[in-house]
Amino acid sequence: MRAFVDKDTCIGCGLCPQICPDVFKMEGEKAVVYTDPVPSEVEELAIEAADQCPVNAITVETGVTA
């Protein structure tokens, strides 16, 4: 699984690194993915972070590896 953050859409709320700190972190005022591919043990949290993003800036591709 891979995750992506659209920096143009991200509002920097910080929710994704709160939900899934193993994949997302804040870089300046925007969230970024720093673990690619997403480790299998945190895939559900990465999906939850995408689902909870208030502006839908996160996409996840399941079944995809780097």
Q: How many domains does the chain have?
A: 1
Quickly tell me which residue has 């925007």 as its tokens: 30
Q: Name the region of 14 (left: φ>0; alpha: ψ -120 to 50; beta: rest).
A: left
**Cβ(47)–Cβ(23) under 8 Å?**
no
7 part of a folded domain:
yes
pLDDT tens-digit map of 7-66: 999 999 999 999 999 999 999 999 999 999 999 999 999 999 999 999 999 999 987 555
Q: What is the CATH number of the domain that holds 26?
A: 3.30.70.20
SS3 of residue 15 by DSSP:
helix
45 in any annotated domain: yes
The pLDDT, as a whole number, for residue 53 is 98
Any domain includes 66: no
- The pLDDT of residue 65 is 54
Predicted pLDDT of residue 52: 98
Q: What are phi and psi of 46, to 5 degrees?
A: -65, -40
DSSP for 37-59 reads SPPGGGHHHHHHHHHH-TT--EE
Residue 14: per-residue pLDDT: 98
Domain presence at residue 25: yes
Residue 63's pLDDT is what?
75
The answer as to whether 57 is a domain residue is yes
Residue-number span of the structural domain to which 34 is assigned: 2-61
